[in-house]
Structure 1
């Protein structure tokens, strides 16, 4: 018996359902395959990242070992440098110059030998030069540029302007150094405070290069101050004034009782000069401390600079320079 039209319709419906189920199953299988492939790709990326981290860890460890090795080398080098510096310092101490006192056989440092008049100033500077290595440097600070003397052996520094302001040297000394008439060793030694000598008995003495500090009365040997000698008629007014000018221009009024240098104020207080003389001697004192520079705040002029600016007469300038050289 042939199938009816109703049976054909049922067969067609069943076929469509089967095809739809096959299509859905295929879609699910494809989705599962995609998910599996994606997971495999992620796992591959994870594996690659783990390998990269492993390589980075090894590289980091190698760098840490290199840094540690470098730090050890740096520590060793620092120790060697410190040891060499200590050895050099000890060697420098061992090589200090000594002066033998021919009368007692004592070993004296150059400064002590100079103070006891066993050596002269030039010899003292030469011996000091063997222990020092001075150089001139320029330092720029908040107040501008300043000249310094630096000892490369000891590290000591001298501010030239401050030393001159303290009376350890003069502007004329600096001018002579600039002109090449004295060495940096001589000027640095003086600015260090080694400018005064002493007698063998330890009392201060007036240096031979200083201007006349007083008058000795012939017959009695009595030493008189310039002011007293003038009051007794032993010195004319002009001569007394010039002698006091020379003292003020080279570091201060000299007290013949002890050889000490005094400022004009101190000299007046001790009766070495009249109070009225301060005004007349102030220009001479500036030849030692420096004249005010009208173009530079806080600056100082030498005698020659002051002469060019009209702050001192030619006659006075020559008089000051004659006693400062």
Structure 2
């Protein structure tokens, strides 16, 4: 149901966050909400479960959750095992926001679903797209609906927005033109998408790494400055600022890493982390290889999260622990 608070929330998110919001602009938005909301409410269709912007009220609840459990997949009738998608970018079935399975990764696993994904960014509205001066770029975009962006998820659209200094909102296409992404400066100039579903989200900073390494299921690995020998119990001393030697492959730089199954590396600090999105552990390895001083990192295949760990001069602070969900 539309109300004044909902209207003000959309207006605040639609105004650019990186520039001062003048007093008169805020006052005008407040007056508009006070006048327009009663009018909008008076024409609402009885028993409708959607707001006038076509977005179900339940969708605004996702941002209040710690994460969400992926329900995309099927039950194998022979093995009686759940066969689900392998990454959050592929997931398009989430059940309802009030489902118990969304409370944590542990409850998701108890529900028989192994893939627990980050919550979406704050939802502003939907079924519109920014145009003209309000549009500042694209992520992947499939104008004629060929399916080329189908493997792209909301997280990749978020990353594209974070890398664009002028991007304040992002428009994501979940169904037709699936995976398409439009970047917006503001929502001053928009047009309806009619029969093409979109969702418009506010830009948010990259999430920090987990406060405790055992709070999420990560895949990590250790980086060596040269082609890796057979894995020793402890890595030899390394120069902190020298990345591994690149290996030429099809004209691109690739870095070689040694991987330890069922092992996780952690460091006792909450500073110096760098967050990336990678399609594979090799790509996360490359991110670390190209970052000056990076030698250790953590990868989560379910969400594509790649966390580059801060370098520790004292190698005794690099803790190696057993974790059946990780590779170190």
What's the TM-score, normalizing by structure 1? 0.26
Give the structure with the higher percent helix.
Answer: 1
More relative contact order in 1 or in 2 (CA 8 Å, sep 6+)? 2
Q: Greater Rg, structure 1 or structure 2?
A: 1
Give the structure with the higher percent strand.
Answer: 2
